[in-house]
Amino acid sequence: MELRETRKTVELRNGHKTVGTSAVQLTPQSFKAEKGILIRSPGADDPTPNTAVVWVAQTPNVTADSTGSGGYPLAPGESVSLPVNDPSKLYVISTAADQTIAWMGI
């Protein structure tokens, strides 16, 4: 008798968010992640690279700096994987308009 491993199939969710000088919610409110979220700031090798750092935090009051309310900085081309199950609680901000963030649930 052959035993087979069964795995739960998870819907792949991903998106992009335009980021500017005001904090915006990273993902839709309804999005829940299994293991976390991968966030990437487009860099020099991308068709439309970011020109400024994007800051990520779990508060709508995130600021685009290294103060106590500043978030985690993502320079153009950098990425971070965060073990959160509710990515809708993440917010992003930048010091420049028209930056983007790509995200994917993992």
- Which tokens is 19 given? 């980021």
Q: What is the pLDDT of residue 3?
A: 62
Per-residue burial over 63-100, b = 16 or more CB atoms within 10 Å of its CB, e = otherwise:
bbeeeeeebbbbebebeeebebeebbebbbbbeeeebb
Q: What is the pLDDT of residue 54?
A: 97
Q: How confident is the model at residue 37 (pLDDT cuts 50, 70, 90)?
A: very high
Q: How confident is the model at residue 1 (pLDDT cuts 50, 70, 90)?
A: low
- Whole-model pTM: value is 0.85
pLDDT surpasses 90 at 59: yes
Domain segments of the chain as ranges: 14-105
